[in-house]
Amino acid sequence: MLQQQPRKRSGCRERPGPNSMASTFPETTVDKKDDEELGTQMSFLDHLEELRKRLIRSIAFVFVALLFCWFVSDRIYNFLSIPVRQALANAQQRELPLGGVTGRETTLPLSSLKEGETARYAFDKATKFGASVIPEATSVQAIIAKDIEGRPGLFTNEPLIAGAIVIPKGVRLPIELDAQPGALVGRDEQLIVTTVQESFSLYVKVALYAAVCLSVPFLLWQVWAFVSPGLYPHERGYALPFVLLSTISFVIGASFAYYVLFPRAAAYLLGIGKDFRLMLRATDYFDFIILIMLAMGLVFQMPAITYILSRIGLVNAGLLLRIWKTSLVVILVAAAVLSPTSDIPNMMLFALPMVLLYGISIFIAWIFARPRTKE
């Protein structure tokens, strides 16, 4: 008689008995890894819970960075305002040829004056000395000398009458002997605020943007931690290179915008308005420069993103070469949107770095590209 064999449960693997041949149903190492990967799959609610945790950690980190940046927000403001203040000062100054009796007259740095030499100092803004206030553009005879502690400086060489107060001879003037030539002078370069609370809100905004920039490495790590469960185990080892490359690329992009792109764009735009009294709101300016710096910081992420995509097998050099025409059109459109001016030279300042980054990305994909496998 034929005996009916018991059915095996679906999805379960029967362990071979002592009398059965192990080679009949071999349990390979790959099967074990597949089971482990299936066991670690996350449901939709698990993904939402993971996303919630990552968001809470990111917000908490940005908040801590915000508290730190708030105490130095004035320094951050002064640093970010240098390009536009310099452009404002240059746009509202008259340019005269330097020449005189001999035709050989030239300017000299303040540090070229020797001890005991005299000159006339002009106050570039209203300055308070004790109980008196010196109006802007007031001048006084000054001398290079040393104080009682032996520190050199510029001191008044005559009494100065300010209202009902007499400022005596020998008072230190607010200027350093090693000040750089071409430093900002006067009030023409100052940005304006139009409401009482605008100064406070501006410093909060500056501190918030600085906190986000300071938190970029941690935020990138949280993004990677969220997407890494969908990758193979060997692909999760690319986290550290991704965070490092992305952080460095962001800093380079923001610095390129601050030192190269924005000064030229601001000089061009403000140069057009030489016939007008230029009064720039500080809030509008900071929204403008932060937008450009963040945009270029993101644009410079191209090589880092290409490295990761090529390592996991989603992008290769051949693909990037095949779509270079489409990519060039996208780059030109992005440069036209990001550029604050409509002239071709400034737009090319934005487009050329993107083209160069695309070429670097092709080179990176050619070196690091590999087919996507489980091991």
Number of domains in the chain: 2
Same-domain status, 118 and 265: no
Q: Give yes or no: residues 228 and 330 share one domain.
A: yes
* 275, 309: one domain: yes
pLDDT tens-digit series, residues 179-231: 665 554 555 567 888 888 888 989 999 999 999 888 988 888 888 778 777 66
**Which segments of the chain have a pLDDT < 70?**
1-42, 92-96, 179-189, 230-236, 273-274, 340-343, 369-375
Task: Please give the structure tokens belonging to residue 226.
Answer: 């969220």
pLDDT of residue 25: 42
The reply to whether 162 and 201 lie within a common domain is no
Q: Say whether both 73 and 206 belong to one domain.
A: yes
Cα–Cα distance measured from residue 142 to residue 110, given in angstroms and rounded to the nearest whole number: 12
In a domain, 7, yes or no: no
H helices present in 11-157, as ranges: 29-39, 44-70, 73-91
Is the domain of 143 the same as that of 245?
Answer: no
Domain that holds residue 361: 50-88+189-368
Is residue 31 assigned to a domain?
no
Assess if residue 324 is contained within a domain. yes
Of 167, 200, 234, which one is at a domain's C-terminal end?
167
Q: Is residue 45 part of a domain?
A: no
Is residue 23 in some structural domain? no
Residues 159 and 249 in one domain: no
User: What pLDDT is stored for residue 182 in this prediction?
Assistant: 53
| Residue 262 buriedness (CB in 10 A; 0-12 / 13-18 / 19+) | buried
Q: What's the confidence (pLDDT) of residue 179? A: 66
- Domain contains 180: no
The string of pLDDT tens digits covering residues 127-178 is 887 777 888 778 888 888 888 888 888 888 888 887 777 888 888 888 877 7
DSSP bridge partners of 172: 155
Identify whether residues 361 and 247 lie together within a single domain: yes
* Whole-number pLDDT of residue 17: 47
Q: Round to whole Å and give the CA distance between 73 and 286.
A: 13
Dump the DSSP string for 99-152. --SSS------GGGPPTT-EEEEE-SS-EEETTEEEPTT-EEEEEEEE-TTS-E
- Would residue 158 count as lying in a domain? yes
Domain assignment present for residue 36? The answer is no
Looking at the fold, whether 207 and 340 belong to one and the same domain comes out as: yes
Q: From CA 91, how far away is CA 344, in angstroms rounded?
A: 21
Partners of 140 in the β-ladder: 121
